Amino acid sequence: MSGGAPAVPVLYEDNHIIVVVKPPNVPTQEDESRDLDLLTLIKADLKHRHGKPGNVYLGLVHRLDRPVGGVMVFAKTSKAASRLSDAVRTRAIRKQYQAVVYGKPTAATGTLRHHLLKDTRTNMVAVVPADRTGAKEAILDYRVLSAQEGMSLVEIELHTGRPHQIRVQFAAIGCPLVGDQRYGGSRAVPGQQIALWSTSLSFEHPVGKEQLRFQSRPPAAYPWLLWGTAIT
């Protein structure tokens, strides 16, 4: 992609979907910052590469937090967007992540269940009692892959797509993500990049119906390099 815009690697593309690796610190869609966003970047790229006149359709079916990078799928047709949105809603899309957290969860594998509530005024999410008005259940499975230097490399399978879910849930058990400026508390290092990456997406093609899986390695940077950047 040209014009000084960040590179957005394309993992797969056909007439119905495009699968890319979202660069960290790029908003998924336009926000109040007015910074260049991924949706706009991909639309411009499709328009340029395919010589499309007029507006380019691109359907947003799931999101990643601004500081997070990794695999995302977008729909190129309204039919694909509708079917992928249904798959997200029914949890038919398998979403896996890796994160580096401070400390080590008590159990090497487990399920985290919390009820979360977002404060739209501050854009902060908190763990609240299940009966709190507006609270939504958040569920994820995790597996500790390795631990060293007071940190753990964790593999995560997300079952619900709540805002800031992984970050809030791990902070709630005393293991905030390395580099999380919002939920890292006293352990947050100003300017450090969050160690959270969307490593794998698996889903049924919305039109062809074949099973697809796409992967992306975390960046070759600290703290990932303590373990290399291999995905399992």
145: pLDDT strictly greater than 70: yes
Strand partners, 124: 119
Could you write out the DSSP letters of every residue in 123-173? Answer: TEEEEE-TTSTT-EEEEEEEEEEEEETTEEEEEEEESS--TTHHHHHHHHT
Residue 229 reports pLDDT greater than 80: no
**For residue 200, is pLDDT > 60?**
yes
pTM of the model: 0.92
Residue 163's Cβ-side half-sphere holds a number of Cα atoms within 13 Å equal to 14
Q: For residues 22 and 8, is the Cβ–Cβ distance under 8 A? A: yes
Give the tens place of pLDDT for each residue, 120-135: 899 999 999 999 999 9
Neighbours of 29 (CB within 10 A): 10
Quote the CA–CA distance of 52 and 13 in Å, as a whole number.
16
Single out the catalytic residue among 65, 131, 141, 180.
65
In terms of C-beta density within 10 A (0-12 exposed, 13-18 middle, 19 or more buried), how is residue 166 classed?
Answer: buried
Band (pLDDT 50/70/90 cuts) for residue 53 is confident
- What per-residue confidence (pLDDT) applies to 27? 94
Task: Tell me whether residue 8 is exposed, middle or buried, using C-beta atoms within 10 angstroms of its C-beta: 0 to 12, 13 to 18, 19 or more.
Answer: middle
Per-residue model confidence (pLDDT) at position 166: 97
Asked if 134 and 105 count as a contact pair (C-beta separation under 8 A), the reply is: no
Residue 65 a catalytic site member: yes
**pLDDT tens digits, 68-89:** 999 999 999 999 999 999 999 9
Q: Beta strands of the chain (E only): which ranges? A: 10-13, 17-22, 59-60, 69-75, 94-102, 109-119, 124-128, 136-148, 151-158, 196-204, 211-215
